[in-house]
Chain A
Amino acid sequence: MKKVKIILLVLLVALVGIQFFPTTRNQSKTMPKTDFTLVNDAPNSIKKKLQTSCYDCHSNNTAYPWYNKIQPVAWILESHIADGKKELNFNEWETYSNRRKKSKLKSIISQVKDDEMPLTSYTLIHGDAKFTEKEKKELFQWLTKLRDSI
């Protein structure tokens, strides 16, 4: 019993200890003019869906869950957001070259089509982030039109 107590105590100390590691927070109050939905004048339904499903990791503003400041959750979120923004940042869309825009539109369609995005680890918590077949169809139609216009 004593051993168990010691282990629990050590774990508790460690858990408290890692809370002091700082993380970068991804938050911004304004939507930049270079944003994907603004520049391309996205229909409201698509704009809302993208914000719900993609913007937490693919923009400069994350709607953090309440437990976001608890480690190690904060670390996991931080790394996902950094990776996500490196691949695609909707807020910086207009700074991309036409070549990059086309390639990104292609990737968005294929990732959502194959249910690779949003990540399963994300949709487990954010059920509303999942795309229904109808939402997919609407999104792909609009994105394909956009891609052909570039």
Chain B
Amino acid sequence: MKHLKLTTGILAIVFIALTITSCKENKKDQDKDDDHVTEMKHDDKKMTHDNSDGHHDDDNADETTDVRDIKMNTQKSSSTTLIVDAYIQIKNSLVADNKEDAAKGATALLAAFSTFDMTTLKGKAHTDYMEIYESAKEQAEHIVKSPIDHQREHFETLSTDINDLVTLLGTEKTLYQDYCPMKKVSWLSETKDIKNPYYGSKMLTCGSVKKQIN
């Protein structure tokens, strides 16, 4: 009997100690993942890129890069498709008051960003992209783990980020920029009908289309 109690006691303590240390390790792993995501991915999905001028990699070529970006907008760009799809998934989940699906959409968004090929972005476009990416990533991480009212708050900022991303890089999709007068914030939608993600079923049709993209 004595031994039994003693063993149980020791086991309990070992268990507690392990739980605490393993929590720490988990965190470290997460950090590693973060590092991994910020690494640039060099895959062969590069967009049509004109190398013939021979000096486009020059750091001083910001101006020419900007011109190129505007061209990219007018061309229908497919580079943002996965990102926009994941964003729309979050939006529709919030419209349907579905916290779990919104979290899944946010996970998909993080995955979409991690496969995005930013090697074609130079100068200011690259800086702008990085800022948008960092913010969107943070919002998505919160949407993954938060209750629905919190998800909606982060979705406000995320909507600004994705809207700016589409302005910067273009999209092949037809999107509508909608405005919620109650919250004084916008969101992007793939349908012309208003389905407000900020209140879900409570105020589904509140809002108006401000702009059509493509």
In the assembled complex, B37 has its CB within 8 A of some CB on chain A: no
- In the complex the two chains form, is A97's CB within 8 Å of B134's CB? yes
Complex Cα spacing A107 to B139, Å: 11
- Among B1, B131, B132, the one with the most A-chain Cβ atoms within 10 Å of its Cβ is B131
B5 touches A7 (CB 8 A): yes
Question: Judging by beta carbons under 8 Å apart, are A7 and B9 in contact?
Answer: yes
Chain B residues numbered 84-100 whose CB sits less than 8 Å from any CB in chain A: none
| B residues near A110, Cβ cutoff 8 Å | 153
* Chain B interface SS verdict (over half): helix
> CB of B49 within 8 A of chain A?
no
* A3: B residues at CB distance < 8 A: 1-2, 5
Q: Nearest chain A CB to B24's CB is how many angstroms away?
A: 8
Q: Which of B2, B24, B27, B138 contacts A103 (CB 8 A)?
A: B138
Q: How many residues of B contact A (CB 8 A)?
A: 23
- Pairwise interchain contact A6-B157, C-beta atoms closer than 8 A: no
B182 at the A interface (CB under 8 A): no
How many contacting A-B pairs (Cβ < 8 A)?
50
When chains A and B are docked, how far (Å) is the Cα of A110 from the Cα of B157? 13
Interface segment, one of A10-18, A42-50, A120-128, A135-143:
A10-18
- The answer to whether the Cβ of A145 comes within 8 Å of any Cβ in the partner chain is no
CB neighbours (8 Å) of A98 from chain B are 131
Q: Cα distance A2–B6 when bound, in Å?
A: 11
Considering only residues 147-191 of chain B, those with a C-beta below 8 Å from chain A are: 153, 156-157, 161
User: How many angstroms from the CA of A100 to the CA of B157 in the assembled complex?
Assistant: 10
Residues B13 and A10 in contact, CB atoms below 8 Å apart:
yes
Closest to B132 in A: A99
Q: Is the CB of A10 within 8 A of B6?
A: yes
Chain B residues 1 to 55 lying within 8 A of chain A, measured CB to CB, are 1-2, 5-6, 9-10, 13, 16-17, 20, 23-24, 27
A147 to chain B, nearest CB (A): 12
Tell whether, in the assembled complex, residue A14 and residue B13 are in contact, meaning their CB atoms are under 8 Å apart: yes
B135 at the interface (CB under 8 A from A): yes
Q: Among the interface residues B10, B20, B27, B161, which one has the most CB atoms of the partner chain A within 10 A? A: B20
Bound Cα distance A14, B16 (Å) = 10
Q: A10 and B10 in contact (CB under 8 A), knowing A72-B20, A75-B20, A97-B131?
A: yes
- Supply 11 further A-B pairs (C-beta < 8 A) apart from A3-B5, A99-B134, A106-B156: A6-B2, A6-B6, A14-B13, A17-B13, A72-B20, A79-B23, A82-B27, A97-B131, A98-B131, A102-B157, A103-B138
Closest 4 CB pairs of A and B: A14-B13, A10-B9, A97-B131, A103-B157
Residues of B with Cβ closer than 8 Å to A?
Answer: 1-2, 5-6, 9-10, 13, 16-17, 20, 23-24, 27, 131-132, 134-135, 138-139, 153, 156-157, 161
Chain A contact residues, CB within 8 Å of chain B? 2-3, 6-7, 10-11, 14, 17-18, 72, 75, 79, 82, 97-100, 102-103, 106-107, 110
22 contacts between A and B (CB under 8 A): A3-B1, A3-B5, A6-B2, A6-B6, A6-B9, A10-B10, A11-B9, A11-B13, A17-B13, A79-B23, A79-B27, A97-B131, A98-B131, A99-B131, A99-B135, A99-B161, A100-B134, A103-B135, A103-B138, A103-B139, A106-B157, A107-B153
